[in-house]
Structure 1
Amino acid sequence: MEAVIRVTDALKSFRETRLSTLRTPAEFFDIHRISRPADFNTAFSRLTYNTRYFSGNYTLIVAALAVYSIIASPLLLLSLVFLFGGFAAINRFEDLYGQFVTQKSLYTGLFVIGIPLLWFSSPFMTLFWLIGASACLILTHACLIEPGVESEYANIEGAV
């Protein structure tokens, strides 16, 4: 029960910090603000401003790509369900197994089956794909979208 409370508190904190900065889809996909940056300095200033301004939207993009990558790899999904389900089942039903089967032997069996299954499901390839796809999408969007008029006032507020 304590773990559920910690997860709930973590989700509340995540929602308050990251998802409170969500911008509307009309603002995020505003095609009238798309332009090619003139030089590297312009691209870098757009990148720094837009990653802060659209941080909630970028977090949702990374989360959606992570869910897609796990669902698109059935062996990875199976191995994660097997490992997490095995941990949960061993911890939940520890009263049911007796003297013949110990908790240590159950964990050993879980690792002997689960780790090779996880290894064959190529989690590192999925992780690197997620990093590359997220970086490509976020960097492209952040460099191509011109900051709004409010970005000029953000510099003035920071100086005061």
Structure 2
Amino acid sequence: MSRFGDQIRGAASPRNWQDAASAIRRAKGRGASRFIAQELGISQRQAQRYLAGQVRKAPHGQDIEDLAEPDWLAADALLEAQALNCGHVEVEYNGKSQGVRKVGLISVDGEMREAIEAAAAALLDGDESLAEQLLSDGILGQYSQQNARDDRHILKGTLKISGFRTGFNIL
């Protein structure tokens, strides 16, 4: 994954084992408890308790955090997002730098929600480059919509985000 992708992953690190369990559930679906049970050597019923958040003292909490793939965590965090704080983004066109754009706070609704859902699906399918492109298009589409004077989406599909200069946060 590119520097852009690494920054997305960094913003999606789990706060606790419950975040990791949620990401595993989203990635593995109905097979999540079987996956956890087999990987940790615990009963499937105990794995189900972890997934349901019914474990008060979690001796396997760190193990569950370690099981969650970074792409699964990123997909889960993006799907739960209400807003994205993008700050200043570095953009490129055909691999050549085109400077920096101040994007700032992007609300996750409408087209942005669709872009995030598609990007998360691509992450869960293992297609990181498609996920990056979809997320970049969504963010720059929202940015151009906020700054367009005549309702044209001039940046969507032309520029690509290569990195977040001032950080990226999922809110």
The TM-score with structure 1 as length reference comes to 0.24
| Larger RCO (alpha carbons 8 Å, 6+ apart) | 1
If you compute each CA radius of gyration, which structure gives the higher value, 1 or 2? 1
Higher fraction of helix = 1
